[in-house]
Amino acid sequence: MKNLLDWLADHWVDALGWGGSALLVYSLLQQRVLRFRTLNLVAGGVLIAFNAILGVWPMVALNAVTSAINLWFILRLRRQRHDAASFEVIEVGLDDQYLRHVLDTHAGDIQQHQPTFAGRALPGQEAFVIAKGDETVGVVVVERDGEVARVRLDYVTPKYRDFTPGEFVWRRSDLLRSRGYRQVVTSPEIVSPYYDRIGFRAEGRSFVLDLDQPEGVAAGS
């Protein structure tokens, strides 16, 4: 440990440069768009400091520009996280070929996050695709249990996993109320649930939303 500290004391500028470069490369491996931008921004800041110490001003300018671009995208993405205008909820039939394609394409990832999902939307269930422009970012499947919509699938593609696009199904309470639902209950098997941040209440390992609440679903933080 002492040798490492001595080396860092003598070569801290080199360590700064290598650390920034390593973080830059690591950021490029990220599938999540917001995480990629954030890590890339941090790496750019480190490399700005490194190149400024060495007086390599063209590289300082380059990293300053890329950092500004990353910051702009981060602010834009964070504004869109809970913006209903950025995402569209599309109801699809259970035998819809595109729904089947999405479920098949992401079958392995879906099983990791919601291992009890059957892999198909089954009779008695309803399916919704969440889209951003022409890109599918999530799928929600609910099953009718009287006036309760039981969540069987609430899946987000890896690129948008820092977002919660499923919330736009719950926020549009008219979408579910018009079908006779009065309550939404999530599956206790969903990995890393986000529902407590958008107006659901915890009941054991599940989360519950009453659709008759006058204010609807609150936007998360």
Q: Which of residues 80, 101, 124 is at a domain's end?
A: 80
Q: Which of residues 80, 100, 125 is at a domain's end?
A: 80
**Domain that residue 40 falls in:** 2-80
In a domain, residue 217? The reply is no
**One domain for residues 186 and 114:** yes
Does residue 10 sit in helix, strand or coil? helix
Q: Which of residues 80, 96, 121 is at a domain's end?
A: 80
In a domain, residue 122? The reply is yes
**One domain for residues 21 and 91:** no
The edge-to-edge listing of strands for the beta sheet with 148-156 is 88-92, 125-132, 135-145, 148-156, 183-185, 206-210, 201-203
Burial (CB count <10 Å: 0-12, 13-18, 19+), residue 59: middle
Least confident of 9-18, 44-53, 101-110, 144-153: 9-18
**One domain for residues 110 and 31:** no
**One domain for residues 112 and 186:** yes
Mean pLDDT for 147-176 is 80
In a domain, residue 215? The reply is no
**One domain for residues 92 and 195:** yes
Contact 154, 89 (CB under 8 A): no
Tokens of 182: 């009065």
**One domain for residues 142 and 184:** yes
**One domain for residues 196 and 94:** yes
**One domain for residues 127 and 198:** yes
**One domain for residues 99 and 203:** yes
The pLDDT value recorded for residue 213 is 57
The pLDDT value recorded for residue 150 is 92
In a domain, residue 200? The reply is yes
In a domain, residue 146? The reply is yes
**One domain for residues 76 and 88:** no
Number of domains present in the structure of the chain: 2
In a domain, residue 120? The reply is yes
| Residue pLDDT, tens place only, 32-83 | 788 899 999 999 999 999 999 999 999 999 999 999 999 998 888 777 666 6
